[in-house]
Each structure stands twice: as structure tokens, then as C-alpha cells.
């Protein structure tokens, strides 16, 4: 393998820049080509056939630009079109779902434990959609229906809460990936979070309130949750807010960032290929040889299928450094 690798990163919009943000310090010598298919977002409201067509055309463009490895940094495209992209390209293709699931498996504890979640009555009453009684589970069997104010009993272990967009939840991609690893999954669609992030309301009372409603609903339905998996690449920007809201609910959780997990998966893949050794343990994050460096944005080429000005403005927030020199392309058929 060459010492310098060209890595293509594809997303329907801006969220995939959090994957690129995680890749830069891990593989600072690589070249990066990023494509945001902003003219055709959101993917989540479209059919599987349309999503596949859009994703494959974007992937082929990155390969034509010199990408030697492709990261599908879009949960919807990963969930619905990953196999089609892999079949269409002669280069390795890595999605975001399996790395996130494997990182959650490493984090989850295989022990029974009592949930510490105690929703305040005032918070419960603010969400009229919440059920008044919640089934409690032991060894896979419902043992009691307990009122919301009652302490939960022992529940099934290895339960992972996945926050994602509606399209990703409907695909059940994370449920399938987590079940294959022996984990129970509860997927929660959070359709308001992406527009709040793109509005720039990262640290805003409205965002905290929306997160609180989503988390109360999810933790009431899945009180045994120990691990929270961020199943959308927009959500890493909300991680401080999520920690803050969980603290108010007295239910701290280990938070898994699928963007970071994917970056570690890419590094593990390249190290394994460079050393000419068998594939490393599937999805296992590799925390060796990390380089502490200041990423050079000049090593990144950016393409967008819609407004360059908007991409540079929002993209800078996602990448954590200025995004400049974005080039417009037209992938419309």
C-alpha cells in the first residue's frame, strides 16, 4: 500500500463532516475528498431505490476523483444502500452502522443492574404521549407493570438506546447489527434534532427541552439502558447537551459516537491492509498509534451539489475548523 491514502467521505449533507473530523487526527497523512449531496437531501424521505441511485452516483464520483477507500458517512445510505455501493465500486467501502454497533458492544456490561432512571412526575406530566404504566422485564419475560414513579426492577442487560432519524429507525439497521452481537436495542426517532443542529442551536434551551422529551420517552420505554448510541452523524454536536439533560434526569449513560467509531474502523482497516495481516476483529476500535496533530484542512477537497456558501458556513461548525474552497458539482440525472 502507498504511505498516503486517498479517502472519500460521502454524506447527503453536512453530518458526515463529523466523521471526517474524527478521521483527521487519526490519519493525518491521508488525503480526503468529501462530498455532500446537499441538492438531494434529505435522503430519509425518499424510497430505497432513489436513495440507492443517489448514493451510488455520489460514490462513483468520489472514486473517479481518486478515492481508494470510501466511507459512507450517512446513516440512511448505509442502512439502505451499503451493499449496492460495495458492489458498484472496486475499492473498500465502510459504513457507519456496524462500527457504532461494535463500539456499543465493547461498552455494554453483561450484568444485570437496576436502572437509576427516576423520571420526575412534573417531567412525565409534560409529555402527554408517555404511557401511564411501563412493563418491566426479567430474563426476557414481562414480570410486572409498574407505574412511572415506581423504582424499576432488574431488567435485561446489554440494552442499547439508539437515537437516530426516522428513516434510520424505520430501516432497523442498528437493531439488526446490535442483535447480531447479542445486544437488545431500543431505537428512538428524533426528527427535530437535525434541523435544530443545522439552525445552530447546539447550546439552546429549546434543544435541551426537545432532548429531554425524547430521552424521557425512550428511557421510560427502555429503563435498562446503559449505553446510548448516536445513530446520526449530526448528533455528536449535541453530545454536551445530551450529557447535560441526562444529568437532570439522574440517568447518566455511556455515549457512543458512531462517527468516532467509524474513524477507528477505517484506521484499523488500513493498518491491517498495510501490515498484510488478516482482518482485525470486526468493528473493534484500535486505539494504538494515534497521532496528536493539528489537521491541515488543505489536505481536504470539498464538493457540494447545492449552495457553496451554506456548505462553508454550516460545514465549518461540523468540522470544527473553517471549510473553504468548496466546489459545486451537478450529479442530477
* Candidate list 232, 253, 267, 308, residue with the active-site label: 232
Whether residue 74 lies in the annotated active site: yes
* Candidate list 22, 74, 178, 194, residue with the active-site label: 74
What interhelical angle do 17-26 and 258-274 show, nearest 10? Answer: 40
Count the Cβ atoms, other than its own, within 10 Å of residue 201.
17
Whether residue 190 lies in the annotated active site: no
- What percent of the chain is helix, strand and coil (3-state, nearest 5)? 45, 20, 40
Per-residue exposure over 288-310, b if at least 16 CB sit within 10 Å of its own CB, e if not: eeeeeeebebeebbbbbbbebeb
DSSP class of 321 = S
Q: How far apart (Å, rounded) are the C-alpha atoms in residues 163 and 174?
A: 10
- Contact between 61 and 33 under an 8 Å Cβ cutoff? The reply is no
Residues whose CB is less than 8 angstroms from the CB of residue 47 and which lie 6 or more positions away in sequence, other chains included: none
| 248 phi and psi angles, rounded to 5 deg | -70, -25
Count the Cβ atoms, other than its own, within 10 Å of residue 54.
24
Locate 58 and state its grid cell: 455520489
Locate 221 and state its grid cell: 420505554
- Contact between 9 and 21 under an 8 Å Cβ cutoff? The reply is no
How does DSSP assign 115-178, residue by residue? Answer: ------HHHHHH-TTS-SEEEEEETTEEEEEEETTSPP----SSEEEEEE-HHHHHHTHHHHHH
- Catalytically active residues, by annotation: 74, 232
Amino acid at each position: 500500500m502507498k504511505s498516503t491514502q486517498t479517502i472519500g467521505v460521502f454524506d447527503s449533507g453536512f453530518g458526515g463532516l463529523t466523521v471526517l473530523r474524527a478521521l483527521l487526527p487519526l490519519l493525518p497523512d491521508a488525503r480526503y475528498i468529501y462530498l455532500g449531496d446537499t441538492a438531494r437531501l434529505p435522503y430519509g424521505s425518499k424510497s430505497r431505490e432513489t436513495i440507492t441511485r443517489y448514493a451510488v452516483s455520489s460514490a462513483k464520483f468520489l472514486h473517479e476523483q481518486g478515492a481508494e477507500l470510501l466511507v459512507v458517512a450517512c446513516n440512511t445510505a448505509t442502512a439502505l444502500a451499503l451493499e449496492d455501493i460495495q458492489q458498484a465500486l472496486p475499492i473498500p467501502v465502510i459504513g457507519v452502522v456496524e462500527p457504532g454497533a461494535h463500539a456499543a458492544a465493547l461498552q455494554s456490561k453483561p450484568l444485570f443492574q437496576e436502572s437509576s432512571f427516576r423520571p420526575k412526575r412534573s417531567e412525565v406530566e409534560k409529555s402527554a404521549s408517555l404511557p401511564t404504566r411501563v412493563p418491566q422485564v426479567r430474563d426476557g419475560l414481562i414480570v410486572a407493570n409498574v407505574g412511572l414513579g415506581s423504582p424499576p426492577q432488574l431488567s435485561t442487560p446489554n440494552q442499547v438506546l439508539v437515537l437516530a432519524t426516522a428513516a434510520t429507525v424505520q430501516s432497523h439497521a442498528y437493531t439488526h447489527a446490535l442483535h447480531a452481537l447479542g445486544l437488545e436495542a431500543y431505537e428512538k426517532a428524533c426528527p427535530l434534532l437535525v434541523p435544530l443542529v443545522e439552525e445552530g442551536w447546539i447550546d439552546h434551551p429549546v434543544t435541551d427541552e426537545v432532548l429531554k422529551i425524547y430521552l424521557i420517552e425512550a428511557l421510560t420505554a427502555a429503563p435498562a439502558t446503559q449505553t446510548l448510541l448516536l445513530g446520526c452523524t449530526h448528533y455528536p454536536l449535541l453530545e454536551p447537551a445530551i450529557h447535560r439533560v441526562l444529568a437532570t434526569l439522574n440517568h447518566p449513560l455511556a455515549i457512543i459516537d458512531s462517527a468516532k467509531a467509524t474513524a477507528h474502523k477505517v484506521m484499523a482497516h488500513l493498518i491491517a491492509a498495510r501490515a498484510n495481516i488478516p482482518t482485525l476483529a470486526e468493528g473493534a476500535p484500535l486505539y494504538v498509534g494515534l497521532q496528536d496533530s493539528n489537521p491541515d484542512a488543505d489536505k481536504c477537497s470539498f464538493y457540494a451539489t447545492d449552495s457553496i456558501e451554506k456548505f462553508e458556513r454550516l460545514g465549518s461548525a461540523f468540522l470544527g475548523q473553517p471549510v473553504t474552497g468548496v466546489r459545486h458539482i451537478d450529479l442530477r440525472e
